[in-house]
Structure 1
Amino acid sequence: MPATSRPRLAKSAPSRFTGRIEVATDVGAFLGDTRVRLLEAIDSCGSISQAAKRVPLSYKAAWDAVDAMNNLADQPLVERSTGGKAGGGTRLTDHGRRVIAMFRAVEAEHQAALDRLSQRFADMPGGDATSFQRLLRRMSVRTSARNQFVGTVSGLREGRVDYEVRVRLDDALELVAVVTRESAETLGLAIGSEVVALVKASSLLLVTDPALRLSARNQLWGTVSRIVDGPVNAEVTVDLSGGRSAVAVLTRESVPALGLAEGVRACAAFKVSSVILAVID
């Protein structure tokens, strides 16, 4: 009986940086991935409606994009005709094809540069392109909520109309949020998925007495690191574990009443309903 060899496991592809380029003018965006794909589809289909479906874009959005590009370009990229036996159509001009070729060439060079950067990053001690990309995506989130915590879903408890979601920040910290069933499905929440928990500073209550019993489910203990005094309110930062911090806004009178000062042990407490969950695609 011939000997059989165990199949080799395929090596996972190395992490790589990916990015998109955009050509902009003083009056706004001119070319990007979506618009170039629209131009390519027009060249292939000869029809704006078919090209819009292929991208996909709405018919109006496709024409708006074409009009904007033609207005910004020194020569038309797209020409259209109406009537006739064929019912009219849309075609790419020679200048449009040159613009596409130039964009794709720059895009290829851009990706080649990113690939070289990925390799250099991977060769560095602790280098991980994937984790670096996640960090950049997190940093790009813009919100008015002062408190932003990134964690993984560690628990899901289904109710009749909502879900209780536990978010593990690190070994010492865990948050609890309540979202509707529809929101949980829209976000695609699952155990182990990464989420961003947002909490407004005005939703945080500060407590210094460890014996005080609160109804708020989320209670994060730490040390006051900074107090910024204002004419009416004060902003208090509490350092937590793992280099995280929580910021609370409270009245000026509350600061001395609670005995708050730098170095004082304090708890940032907030309700589960005060937590907004977000997912970064």
Structure 2
Amino acid sequence: MNQPPDEPRLRLRIVFGPGEMMGPGKAELLERIRATGSIAAAGREMGMSYKRAWMLVETLNAMFREPLVTSTRGGTGGGGASLTDTGESVLRLYRAVAAKAATAGTTELSALQAMLSDIPDGK
């Protein structure tokens, strides 16, 4: 039985320069850090290693004039991480750009979807 294809969606990556980009993965990591208060927990939720999550945070912090994430070491009181005001702004602006791009491209995305071939048996 043929099922209708998923609605098209846009995954926007903004490339600022060599090695400097902001995309849906980094935005999701920031959102999860905000929600969990932890880089490690955010990474785990996304299925990535602690090292990978930390590397992405370091990359983000180095990309912008001010850090996006601050952290404190663990220990008896426990560590933690949070978004800075700059981190909140970067995340908000990235999500706004992505939403505007998706809205602006609705007609074209629908036209592209209409041109897709049917996939027999959903394979």
Amino acid corresponding to residue 25 of structure 2 in structure 1: T
Match of 1:37 in 2: 28
Tell me by how many angstroms 1:85 deviates: 4.6
Aligned CA distance change for structure 1 residues 102 and 13 (closer, same or farther; 3 Å): farther
Match of 2:47 in 1: 56
Higher strand share: 1
SS of 2:67's partner is: coil
| 1:48-197 mapped onto 2 (5 Å cutoff) | 48-83=39-74, 85-119=76-110, 121=111, 128-131=114-117, 193=123
CA contact 1:16–1:129 (8 Å) conserved in 2: no
2:10 paired with 1:19: yes
Q: How many angstroms apart in 2 are the aligned matches of 1:15 and 1:57? A: 26
Q: How many angstroms apart in 2 are the aligned matches of 1:20 and 1:36? A: 11
Larger relative contact order, structure 1 or 2 (CA cutoff 8 Å, min sep 6): 2
Cα deviation digits, residues 149-203 of structure 1 (max 9, x gap): xxx8xxxxxxxxxxxxxxxxxxxxxxxxxxxxxxxxxxxxxx773xxxxxxxxxx
Query: Unaligned stretches of 5+ in structure 1?
Result: 1-11, 135-151, 153-190, 194-281
Aligned CA distance change for structure 1 residues 50 and 24 (closer, same or farther; 3 Å): same
Aligned CA distance change for structure 1 residues 65 and 39 (closer, same or farther; 3 Å): same
Tell me by how many angstroms 1:16 deviates: 4.6
Higher helix share: 2
Query: Unaligned stretches of 5+ in structure 2?
Result: none
Percent of counterpart pairs with the same letter? 32
Could you say what the CA RMSD is over the residues aligned between the two structures, in angstroms? 2.9
Aligned residues: 121
Structure number with greater Rg is 1
CA contact 1:47–1:91 (8 Å) conserved in 2: yes
Aligned CA distance change for structure 1 residues 61 and 84 (closer, same or farther; 3 Å): closer
CA contact 1:17–1:129 (8 Å) conserved in 2: no
Q: How many angstroms apart in 2 are the aligned matches of 1:46 and 1:96? A: 13
Amino acid corresponding to residue 130 of structure 1 in structure 2: L
